[in-house]
Homo-oligomer: A and B are copies of this chain.
Amino acid sequence: MNVMNASPRRKELTRLAAQLFVQEGFDRTTVRMLAQEMGIKSGSLFHHFKDKQEILAAVIEEGTQNALTIARNALNECSAEPEVRLRTMARAHLETLFTDRNAHVVALFEWRRLDDVARAHLSHLRDAYEALWVAVIDDALEARLIHGDRFLVSRFVLGALNWTVRWYDPNGSRSPDDLADEFVAMIMPSPA
């Protein structure tokens, strides 16, 4: 059953599942479709995952865990200047969003399909990630780089950035970093 292991095989299957979940949506993705994409029969799928729900949870956990790690590292490696930290966080956010796009689209738009247990578990991960954001925004507010209510600002910022998955074209002329910089410039009173 491999309830909670992270074998390379399982990781690969999780990656494929993420892709299908994005393409079709979780509900429309059948275990038979998943199996075919993985090159096995539908029955064999349940050797790797307890049930379909667990595949969804695995996809989201993987993505969120990565985002958290990357953001933490990025913040550790950059200076303490609020403006730099704000830009760094925005860049890290979009970088993760697009290098691990499938997993994050699933996390953002299929979250509600998680059962209660998985949701409770993954909420902690997500909260830890958002806490990084709130801290960075607090500093930026205190330094008067931006203005507004701390709660509202963080919601607006995350909304604007997350929504990019709906329209951003990775093959276009702008890099995720460009996008992040332009966004930070937009909400900062003084144009860079």
Contact = CB atoms under 8 A, between A and B. Distances in A.
Contacts of A191: 147
A162 B109 CA distance: 13
B158 A163 contact: yes
A163 B157 CA distance: 10
Given A28-B27, A160-B163, A163-B162, A185 B155 contact: no
A124 interface: no
Interface in A137-192: 146-149, 152-153, 155-164, 166-167, 179, 182-183, 185-187, 189-191
Nearest to A152: B182
Query: What is the copy number of this chain in the assembly?
Result: 2
Nearest to A28: B27
Nearest to A111: B166
Interface of A: 25, 27-28, 109, 112-113, 146-149, 152-153, 155-164, 166-167, 179, 182-183, 185-187, 189-191
Given A147-B191, A156-B160, A159-B161, 11 more contacts: A27-B27, A27-B28, A147-B186, A148-B186, A149-B182, A152-B183, A152-B186, A153-B186, A155-B164, A163-B163, A189-B189
